[in-house]
Structure 1
Amino acid sequence: MKYTIKIFFSEEDEGYIAIAEELDSISSFGKTEEEALKELKTTISLYFEERNILQN
């Protein structure tokens, strides 16, 4: 499955938000762009694990 990752700075949160809109708008936060992306990749992995469990 292909999906787009968007990363933007949130002044309100004083950090970066990474979001994958095609995956139920899953998002993660980080103090840096790299941290937000790393957290999002972990969240996406957990999302697919849970989805596979529910399908079985």
Structure 2
Amino acid sequence: MNGKNLFDFGPVLGYYFRGKDPNRKTNFNMKTMHFINKLSLAMFLVCLVVMLFRYVL
């Protein structure tokens, strides 16, 4: 495993900023699942920034 792949955030950013697929049917369960996934990723990234900030200070 190489270190360059470790910090590849392209798929994460693609998940956040991809467009809607008009061919895919959506329902309440899928919308809820995607909302919870995005919320948990955002919380993780905020906590990571806070931890790095505390480590530097």
TM-score, normalising length: structure 1: 0.46
Q: If you compute each CA radius of gyration, which structure gives the higher value, 1 or 2?
A: 2
TM-score, normalising length: structure 2: 0.45
Larger RCO (CA within 8 A; separation ≥ 6): 2
Q: Which has the higher strand share?
A: 1
